[in-house]
Structure 1
């Protein structure tokens, strides 16, 4: 008989024990198919070998997509399977609304992971049943898209689903044949999803038509593909480590911009510190930066556009629209702006009176912190007002300078990009400019 111990490697068994010691709740995705049934049975039996005070908080999760006439039967099967083993069981019914250019496979997958996130909560592990053959299929699908090492690494055994939830795939080293052998040896029942026979789906086409032919010609082919995926994962780790070093050397602090618009949180790159890197390192640094900003990776054509900015004139101010945000350049600085930041920069703030408060809230919702800026309070007869967009020809005598300069000159000196200048709040006493809040204080006042 194929024991449950044999399906899990010693490393995966040790990981499972570690989860129990960390008091993590374990949520196993259960579709009712043979892969997920074997996964749940294996973890359940392993859990029973642990000491009573070290056993996992185990729960099976079924997602009812409503795509098959058999969906209700699958739900019933999963519920009974768990009831027979006294495993906690939860299910969610989802409605899939197909978007343009989004495959039904991707839509269903996103719905499953969304449910996992809802059900699991914090300090949890979500476990799914992808196996070695799935890994080979993923490799080929990524290869079809022209992916690099990161994409060809395919599925990681352990990754972050959210900040509080880890995603674990313990069967990536186990073949489909081994899973079927285990199921038969342990007299397990399972359901068959009829959509797995539909070769209109790319993954099914690979599974049913292509990979069996390759396996017949070269036995062990899927194991070799999985090994290549693992080597790509290791190579990509090196690439990311180098990119992190380059990023830390090229990122610059723009804390003054955050004082102007607290919504601004992105890291800014100094192009002059990147230009001497090789093209490959520039490319990996850019990907690292976009990933840190949670941007979806753009096409190679768009990536080339961004890289071309590294050599363009400081006078140019190109904008490149991405899927979730936008890249803009000002002088030698490269900015990534989220759509939320872009919307905030385009809002029109209205002037308001100031009565000495440490913090004021604008009509846009932005909060200005005025305490500890070295600003003397107005006299009884002076009217204090916070204004926006004064004439850029207005002259100011900042405390740290020994001459007057126009606002335009000072904003350039502080490297405030043009798209943020409307957000700079100016404090006036009567019609005398006292401060550009968060940037500088004027002394003496303008005559």
Structure 2
């Protein structure tokens, strides 16, 4: 493949997206020849199509000791093109039972969404060789059609965003030829040659030997991946109508899967329904393994009505609550102190809070805000204006139908002996019937 052919493939990939003027085209940079080639192609496309917004993003986890030097090299390349960029260190605490690489990937995707417009097109550098490796890794894990479909050229992402892999049918050799021909600068990560890493072992030890024996093996793998993707898309199309009655809604949690409806299905259909329901969450980047799927299935159908069921899926969990399954991110950030109109972290990023004075009762009171409930408040009876008798906080929260795993991080507004909670409103430790002279309002923001 000559370099003009590679750029033509890139160009055609973007032209099929039905872009609109002002839409954001973002390249996610890692510094390798793949993403540097994407960057160069995007710069050529930018010169031909100035009507779009262009952005280059590099997120550094500091997995490698030389990563700060790599960031400088990448920054120089972006500056040479005169393209708007965002470079950022992205550190995190590793969770148990989740690899550093998997956690880093999830954090990168989350941050990419936060840094881009809702309808952004985010360009990734994966290529033909990556697709073959992914297929074989999924095969080793015993994946079904969804896993064997490997990576999609165009993949729905968080909100209306899309992940696009313009070079997915281009070989690594052709990418290197392009990079050399255009005198690009890129980084060679020495860890890419560590064959203790599964993907590297396939890349350097397994695939070359297979292709030496069967030269068409790579093409066959790509065809199988495409057929699996087609079968998976067809299954989703058939399930969409069949599962209409299985969805349920919750103010805080979005769309859940009814356990009652699930129990009416055959076991294979139950598992298919759970997988399909999870795909409705565009920020659910990790599908359950077969063992996790069976665990969700068994817990949903066999747990008691008051059981607190949670099945972890990377940085998210599937919960059983109110006779339905709910998917929810568990890597919540503790809400920070907030002021008027401020927006809190998930799950409270779905609401905007605002405090205003009651114009009929002008009184100056100093307000204090806290992010979490304190133990004394949890152990005391709380009263609501105009209602007889007090209740412990857990009773108020249960009555308000706030899911059990959200209750400990519920944001509270304190004003003297009064506190304000979402849904519950004003509560007090005393039997006072006169709440503070303030109105608190909140609304869904997403």
TM-score category of the 2 structures, normalised to the smaller one? 0.5 to 0.7
Determine whether 1:189 maps to 2:189: no
| Alignment counterpart, residue 290 of structure 2, candidates 285, 288, 300 | 300
Query: Which residue in 2 is equivalent to 1:44?
Result: 43
Quote the offset at 1:88 in angstroms: 2.1
Provide closer, same or farther for how the CA distance between residues 300 and 141 of structure 1 changes in structure 2, counting only shifts above 3 A. same
| Structure 1 counterpart SS, 2:16 | helix
SS at match of 2:275: helix
Q: What corresponds to 1:3 in structure 2?
A: 3
Q: Cα offset for 1:155?
A: 1.1
Q: Which residue of 2 aligns with 1:322?
A: 311
- Which residue of the partner structure matches residue 402 of structure 1? none
CA shift, 1:165, in A, is: 2.5
The alignment partner of 1:322 has SS state of strand
- In structure 1, C-alpha distance between the alignment counterparts of 2:325 and 2:212, rounded to whole Å: 49
What are the superposed Cα offsets for residues 66-85 of structure 1, whole Å, 9 maximum, x if unpaired? 23332232122112212222
Tell me if structure 1 keeps the 8 A contact 2:26–2:120: yes
Q: Is the 8 A contact 2:296 2:318 kept in 1?
A: no
Q: Once structures 1 and 2 are overlaid, which stretch shifts more, 171-180 or 121-130?
A: 121-130
In structure 1, C-alpha distance between the alignment counterparts of 2:301 and 2:386, rounded to whole Å: 45
Between the aligned partners of 2:221 and 2:63, the Cα distance in structure 1 is: 31
Q: 2:15 matched to which residue of 1?
A: 14
What SS does the corresponding residue of 2:85 show, helix, strand or coil?
A: strand
Other-structure match for 2:408:
none
Evaluate the alpha carbon distance shift between residue 247 and residue 213 of structure 1 in structure 2; reply closer, same or farther with a 3 A threshold. Answer: same
Q: Matched residues in 2 for 1:88 and 1:185: separation?
A: 25
For 1:197 and 1:171, the matched residues in 2 are separated by: 22
Q: Distance in 2 between matches of 1:267 and 1:96?
A: 29
SS in 2 for 1:63: strand
Q: 1:105 to 1:223 in 2, by over 3 A?
A: farther
1:26/1:127 contact within 8 Å kept: yes
Q: Alignment RMSD, CA only? A: 3.9
- Give the equivalent residue in structure 2 for 1:113: 109
Structure 1's unaligned 5+ residue stretches are: 342-346, 356-360, 369-422, 424-447
Q: Secondary structure at the match of 2:122?
A: strand
1:354 aligns with 2:347: no
Match of 1:67 in 2: 63
Q: Is the 8 Å Cα contact of residues 143 and 152 (structure 1) preserved in structure 2? A: yes
Who is 2:222 aligned against?
226
Q: Number of aligned pairs? A: 345
How big is the shift at 1:310? 9.2
> Which stretches in structure 2 are left out of the alignment for 5+ residues?
331-346, 348-377, 388-392, 401-423, 425-446
Aligned equivalent of 2:32? 33
What TM-score, normalized by structure 1, do the two folds share? 0.66
Distance 1:322 1:43 in 2: 41
TM-score w.r.t. length of structure 2 = 0.66
